[in-house]
């Protein structure tokens, strides 16, 4: 079987031996509802409190709440703030856009045009991205506004800013094989924990393992990703990379004259697991992120490199990408356009 390389952590993550052992130990004794008054519930609550203390030590946020997933985390934070006007950039996730009262346009590089939104008032909340899910572009803060930072793509991969009071995320970006949402806050938001304790323990353990290495890992990934971009641009005609000021491990590119599904299948056959925001691999709609940026929306590939990946494999990926694009364009009769 072809060797497999996961280049999209949103596809999931294999369970390491450590994660399996951590989960086994937690599930054996902390399986109960931590809110239950029984001795079993109190024991689970002890494990949950220990995980919360670790998150406080790592992030510096005094209030930590665990939830089932990132969507639940964002929803809980917005509900806790009782926002009357939610402002989000047009490149945010679809479930977040559904909650928005004001959708702010973005530049061709993906930067939010906050000046085109009404000035913030006491009832406004601005929901920022630490790194966009497709492009890796981060949003600038909004002076004088209540802001929530969505770090679902970057927790454990980029340092959190000091001037944000609320962060929503999940632990997959840090290498957790299970989806665990988290809300970090400077004050008590009154949100109750809802996540299963063994899953929380596994996720926090994964974050702990990467927290102290994120700067070095990010620099190495940034260098490898820059080399990858240069190689692809030099070998693949009519390719576009999207966004500027991006998180090191996140990239989006479009290959002209090909559809995303065909290209993803060709790469999958060569052992590469990548993502896409394009129409044929999602819900019949083109990537709303690239559409908001005014960019090409077909032939889109997304890279979201997982924790622990040796970034030098991008050299081999560039070779296989160039070969796949050449073959597919010849087969489609568009190689001379």
Per-residue pLDDT tens for 161-189?
Answer: 998 999 999 999 999 999 999 999 999 99
Q: What is the pLDDT of residue 222?
A: 96
Q: Which residues contact 53 (CB under 8 A, 6 or more apart)?
A: none
* Domains of the chain from N-terminus onward: 5-9+214-332 (3.90.1150.10), 15-211 (3.40.640.10)
The Cβ of residue 60 has, within 10 Å, a number of other Cβ atoms equal to 11
Structure tokens that stand for 179 in this block: 């989806």
Compute CA distances 266 → 126, 186, 207, whole Å.
40, 47, 33
pLDDT in tens, 309-337: 999 999 999 999 999 999 999 998 987 76
Determine contact, residues 147/126, Cβ cutoff 8 Å. Answer: yes
Cα–Cα dist 87/201, whole Å: 33
Cα–Cα dist 66/201, whole Å: 10
Which pTM value belongs to this model?
0.94
Compute CA distances 294 → 130, 183, 241, whole Å.
21, 32, 13
Q: Cα 23 vs. chain centroid, distance in angstroms?
A: 23
pLDDT in tens, 141-166: 888 889 999 999 999 999 999 989 99
Cα–Cα dist 240/248, whole Å: 17
The Cβ of residue 298 has, within 10 Å, a number of other Cβ atoms equal to 18
H helix and E strand count, the chain: 9, 12
């Amino acid at each position: 079987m072809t060797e497999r390389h996961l280049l999209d952590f949103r596809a999931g993550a294999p369970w390491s031996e450590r994660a399996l052992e951590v989960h086994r130990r937690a599930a054996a004794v902390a399986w109960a509802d931590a809110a239950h008054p029984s001795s079993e519930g109190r024991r689970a609550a002890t494990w949950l409190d220990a995980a919360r203390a670790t998150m406080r030590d790592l992030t510096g946020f005094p209030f930590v709440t665990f939830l089932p997933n990132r969507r639940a985390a964002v929803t809980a934070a917005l509900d806790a703030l009782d926002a009357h006007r939610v402002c989000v950039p047009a490149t945010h996730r679809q479930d977040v856009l559904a909650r928005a009262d004001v959708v702010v346009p973005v530049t061709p590089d993906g930067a939010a045009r906050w000046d085109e939104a009404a000035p913030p008032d006491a009832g406004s909340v601005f929901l920022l991205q630490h790194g966009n899910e497709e492009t890796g572009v981060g949003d600038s803060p909004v002076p004088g506004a209540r802001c929530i930072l969505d770090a679902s793509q970057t927790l454990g991969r980029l340092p959190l800013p000091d001037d944000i009071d609320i962060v929503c995320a999940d632990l997959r970006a840090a290498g957790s094989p299970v989806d665990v949402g988290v809300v970090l806050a400077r004050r008590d938001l009154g949100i109750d924990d809802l996540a299963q304790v063994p899953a929380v323990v596994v996720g926090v353990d994964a974050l702990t393992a990467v927290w102290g290495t994120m700067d070095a890992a990010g620099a190495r990934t940034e260098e490898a990703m820059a080399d990858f971009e240069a190689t692809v641009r030099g070998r693949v005609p009519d390719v576009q990379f999207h966004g500027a000021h991006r998180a090191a491990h996140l990239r989006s590119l479009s290959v002209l004259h090909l559809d995303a599904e065909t290209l993803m299948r060709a790469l999958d056959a060569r052992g590469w697991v990548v993502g896409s925001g394009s129409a044929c691999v999602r819900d019949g709609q083109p990537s709303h992120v690239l559409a908001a940026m005014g960019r090409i929306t077909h032939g889109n590939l997304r890279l979201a490199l997982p924790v622990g990946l040796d970034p030098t494999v991008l050299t081999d990926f560039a070779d296989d990408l160039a070969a796949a694009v050449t073959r597919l364009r010849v087969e489609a009769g568009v190689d001379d356009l």
